[in-house]
Amino acid sequence: MTSLPAPEVVQNADAAGVADSGAARLITSLGEAQRAGREPHIALTGGSMGSAIIAAVLRRPERDQVDWSRVSVWWGDERYLPAGDPERNDTQNDRAGLLELGLDPDRVHRVPGPGETESVEEAAAVYGASLRSHGAGAFEVAMFGVGPDGHIASLFPHHPAQRIDGEIAVPVHDSPKPPPLRVSLTFEAINRSRQVWFMVAGEAKAAAVSAALAPDTERWDIPAVGARGTEATVWLVDHTALNAKT
């Protein structure tokens, strides 16, 4: 079995630096993929950092190096809420200017919510089928925030959704962080990604970062440990997330 590259840690001064660093790397990675003849798929994250990276990409003139109309966009997880709900990850990304990048709307793949599906189980099945039908077998880049408890996407510590095998997307019940119903990519799907990036800022995340980077931490306890890219795993962190006591 081929060993995966060791995670790379890139320290930035603050949250804005994490966003700027992520934006520059995303533009570079997508440009390189397209020049190599690939039509890249990416997995986005919600929250303040996910939206900050989109805003940072829009500020960079070199974004025009990427043909955004040939980039397919997905989400690592989504709250099972109606389309347009302000708590949805895709709504937050839209407000940050996602569609201003020049994406083809047909390549923006949103997790269906109530009104489009009868249950969170159906939403996960539809999303997983869409991933398969569009050939998203490997994301060029999958981006994740990390919770103070070490969760990524909607894969939480000691939650049974971590242990569902043979699926790309799974329903999540009883999420310890509201709302309780969500759809998440599985580790099986995440770990097909060429690159996995974690984007973390703030002292509240320092314990999770430290645990995730420790050699003997178990995925069951700190789910971020279980996400690895086949070509690169990168931690883009700010000073306080990496060195809370200094």
Chain segment 144-196, per-residue pLDDT in tens: 999 999 999 999 999 999 999 899 999 999 999 999 999 999 999 999 999 99
- Amino acid 1: pLDDT: 45
Run of H or E residues at 234: strand 232-238
Per the DSSP assignment, residues forming a β-bridge with 54 are none
With bands split at pLDDT 50, 70 and 90, how would you rate the model's confidence at 4?
Answer: confident
With bands split at pLDDT 50, 70 and 90, how would you rate the model's confidence at 57?
Answer: very high
74-108: per-residue pLDDT in tens? 999 999 999 999 999 999 999 999 999 999 999 99
pLDDT at 117 over 90: yes
pLDDT at 245 over 60: no
Question: 116-147 burial, b for 16+ CB within 10 Å, e for fewer?
Answer: ebeebeebbbbbbebbeeeebebbbbbbbbbb
Q: Which residue, chain included where needed, has tokens 């839209």?
A: 94
Please, what sign has the CA dihedral across residues 54, 41, 14, 59?
A: negative
- Amino acid 246: pLDDT: 42
Comparing 56-65, 72-81, 235-244, which segment has the lowest mean pLDDT?
A: 235-244
For 19, the token pair is 């966003």
Please, what sign has the CA dihedral across residues 71, 72, 75, 81?
A: positive
Residues in the chain: 246
pTM, whole model, 2 decimals?
0.95
Reference 184, options 174, 170, 195; nearest CA is: 170
- Amino acid 243: pLDDT: 77
pLDDT at 136 over 80: no
Q: ω into residue 179 within 30 of 0, thus cis?
A: yes
For 177, the token pair is 């962080």
Helix count and strand count (H, E) for the chain = 7, 9
Euclidean distance between CA atoms 244 and 228, whole angstroms: 24
Mean pLDDT on 60-82: 97
pLDDT at 68 over 80: yes
Task: Give the residue ranges of DSSP H helices in the chain.
Answer: 15-35, 47-59, 89-95, 120-133, 187-190, 206-213, 239-242
| CATH class entry, domain 10-242 | alpha beta
Reference 209, options 145, 153, 160, 154; nearest CA is: 145
Reference 127, options 163, 179, 74, 173; nearest CA is: 74
Mean pLDDT on 196-217: 96
